[in-house]
Amino acid sequence: MSAVSQVSVVENQAVGRCLLFLGDVTEPGFAKTAFGLRDWAGERCVGELRLPAGTVSLGLPQLNCEQAAAQGASALVIGVAAAGGAIPDAWVPTLAAALDAGLDIVSGMHVRLETIPALRDAAARSGRRLVDVRTPPADIPIATGLPRSGRRILTVGTDCALGKKYTALAISRGLAARGLDVSFRATGQTGIMIAGSGMPIDAVVSDFVAGAAEILSPAAAPGHVDVIEGQGSLFHPAFAGVSLGLLHGSQPDMFVVCHDPRRGHLLGYPSSPLPSIETVIVQTIALGRVTNPAIRCVGVALNTGGMMLDEAEREIAAFAQRLPYPVADPMRGGPAFDRLLDACQETS
């Protein structure tokens, strides 16, 4: 038995009926966990709860913890990410109140919930659970770098938080609808909550990130396709290390570049302009060839959320004219997305 097959991914982390906590964030990009659950597991989300200073809304009913519990919620999910993955002191009273109201707390933050005394005490008092999704399995090996069977598609991005998870989910569901043997492979807390399993790749010690990616997408039947959720960006000053390790360990045969055409700079880094899609393709191929010499780009996914239909169609058409790849917004579907799925099915 190989070292890779001896270690499991994080399992059984799917979220049941829940209240989505938005804290006090004012930037929608930092609420991607909440938006992801709303969009891909909406039947489980009973409402949202935000603090007075927060301005981000999901468009769900505004509920307090007691109301959510009365409507069948079993957990409050921290749906936002604070800087550095910490839980601000201002959030703690509300989180403790959720426990007292009979809700578990589910967190994808880097800090462990049990390290916060007020939450540990409230959990003991109420008998509710503190669930940390961003906890990788133990004993992850270093990567082997050896080729393995099966086919893999990785979503990469010009930036973080612009649609890599949504694109991977849409492609995996689209290919499954065509009858392919396909798996969505989650690499972040939101994807894990949606799918119920995966690898919290940015919580893995850096030496083992590529090995963790090998575990996430093991050898498979030749016709099987793993669609792997990308993380960060190779051009991001904070997150490029995670993106590179995931690229090397995934050994993708194909990749799709995700891009938000309205974004002019990296999220949270106003002095860092976004790289062009062409630059991302060249860099991804150059670095990806370390573990898969046959890596290739098969398409571009645009995030046109918030645009009117005619504006979105103009953006998609303009990029399609500029680039020699299918271009689509996977969330809008249509013929453009069908062409992207066609490209994902091509074997060479």
What's the pLDDT tens digit per position in 186-219?
999 999 999 999 999 999 999 999 999 999 999 9
Tokens found for residue 37: 């659950």
Residue 6 has pLDDT above 60, yes or no: no
Q: How many structural domains is the chain composed of? A: 2
Mean pLDDT of 130-142: 93
Check: CB of residue 160 under 8 Å from CB of residue 232: yes
222, pLDDT greater than 80 = yes
Domain that holds residue 53: 18-132
Q: Is 24 exposed, middle or buried (0-12, 13-18, 19+ CB in 10 A)?
A: middle
Do 340 and 224 have their domain in common? yes
Token reading at 300: 């571009």
pLDDT tens digits, 261-305 = 999 999 889 999 999 999 999 999 999 999 999 999 999 999 999
* Contact between 153 and 184 (Cβ < 8 Å): no
Asked whether the beta carbons of 131 and 107 are under 8 A apart, the reply is yes
Question: What is the distance of C-alpha 127 from the center of its chain?
Answer: 30
What is the structure's pLDDT at 347? 83
Looking at the structure, tell me whether residues 119 and 207 fall in a common domain: no
* Domain-located, residue 45: yes
* Per-residue pLDDT at 12: 60
Assess if residue 58 is contained within a domain: yes
Stretch 235-259: mean pLDDT, rounded?
97
Please check whether residue 42 lies inside any domain of the structure: yes
CA distance 17 to 43: 8
Q: What is the mean pLDDT of residues 98-121?
A: 95
Name the region of 231 (left: φ>0; alpha: ψ -120 to 50; beta: rest). Answer: beta
What is the per-residue pLDDT for 7? 52
pLDDT tens column, 62-109: 999 999 999 999 999 999 986 667 899 999 999 999 999 999 999 999
Do 205 and 335 share a structural domain?
yes
pLDDT given at position 3:
34
Assigned domain for 142 exists: no
126 and 160 inside one domain: no
Q: Is residue 334 part of a domain?
A: yes
Which pLDDT score is estimated for 13?
65
Whether residues 29 and 121 fall in one domain: yes
Residue 1 confidence (pLDDT) above 50: no
Domain co-membership, 207 together with 110: no
Q: Which residues pair with 243 in a beta bridge?
A: none
Tokens of 302: 């645009």
d(CA 54, CA 326): 38
Query: Quick one: how far is CA 149 from the chain centroid?
Result: 24
Average pLDDT over residues 236-258: 97
Contact 31, 82 (CB under 8 A): no
CATH number at residue 73: 3.40.50.720
Q: Residue 156: enclosing H or E segment and its boundaries?
A: strand 151-157
Residues 83 and 36 in one domain: yes
- The DSSP call for residue 15 is -
C-alpha pair distances (Å), 140 with each of 9, 136, 211, 311 = 10, 8, 7, 46
Count other C-beta atoms under 10 Å from residue 339's C-beta.
Answer: 16
Task: Check whether 156 has a pLDDT greater than 80.
Answer: yes
Same domain, 156 and 300: yes
CB of 191 closer than 8 Å to CB of 198: yes
What pLDDT score was predicted for residue 267?
85
Predicted confidence at residue 59, as pLDDT, reads 97
Q: Is residue 10 part of a domain?
A: no
Read off the amino acid at residue 199: M
Instruction: Give me the pLDDT at residue 4, please.
Output: 37
| Residue 137 domain flag | no
Percent of the chain surpassing pLDDT 90: 88
pLDDT digits (tens, 9 = 90+) for 9-40: 766 666 889 999 999 999 887 898 999 999 99
Asked if the model's pLDDT at residue 8 lies above 80, the reply is no
